[in-house]
């Protein structure tokens, strides 16, 4: 961590007031999760996928006053965004012949959770 310029600081246990920056970020992530789930029309049970999407997106865009993204600052390279998908996007899942009858559809509609 020291090689990356990260300074470790200890705080008292069970005292969230001592870690205001992390608490504010947790609140921001919760707001983004709510917005993502609402926009995608997903159930609350998909909160973990929304949290990952919010955090990954946050690490791949420049923060206020920065030219580089947090990913670039930590890894030293530009992030690959080719695998980025829309949360809650509709798609078709193929059903193999072993799981369907002769007149059943070959695919079912689903919502991509992450």
Quick check: is 6 in a domain? no
Over residues 90-106, the mean pLDDT reads: 89
Over residues 21-42, the mean pLDDT reads: 89
The tokens for 2 are 């020291």
The whole-angstrom separation of Cα 110 and Cα 92 is 6
Domain count, the chain: 1
The whole-angstrom separation of Cα 91 and Cα 38 is 18
Quick check: is 5 in a domain? no
Q: Are 69 and 79 in contact (CB under 8 A)?
A: yes
Q: Whole domain around residue 22: which residue ranges?
A: 18-112
The tokens for 23 are 């608490």
Quick check: is 7 in a domain? no
Over residues 17-36, the mean pLDDT reads: 87
Quick check: is 46 in a domain? yes
- Where do the H-state alpha helices sit in 1-114? 20-40, 47-59, 70-75
Over residues 29-43, the mean pLDDT reads: 90
Q: How confident is the model at residue 41 (pLDDT cuts 50, 70, 90)?
A: confident
Quick check: is 8 in a domain? no
Does residue 57 have a pLDDT over 90? Answer: no
Quick check: is 25 in a domain? yes
Quick check: is 12 in a domain? no
Quick check: is 81 in a domain? yes
Least confident of 31-35, 39-43, 104-108: 39-43
- 99 three-state secondary structure: helix
């Amino acid at each position: 961590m020291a090689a990356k310029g990260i300074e470790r600081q200890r705080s008292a246990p069970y005292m969230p007031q001592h870690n205001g920056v992390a608490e504010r970020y947790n609140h921001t992530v919760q707001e983004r999760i709510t917005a993502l789930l609402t926009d995608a029309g997903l159930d609350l049970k998909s909160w973990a996928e929304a949290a990952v999407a919010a955090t990954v997106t946050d690490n791949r865009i420049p923060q206020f006053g920065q030219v580089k993204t947090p990913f670039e600052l930590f890894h030293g390279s530009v992030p690959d965004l080719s695998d980025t998908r829309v949360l809650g996007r509709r798609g078709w899942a193929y059903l193999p012949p072993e799981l369907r009858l002769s007149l059943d559809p070959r695919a079912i509609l689903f919502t991509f959770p992450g």
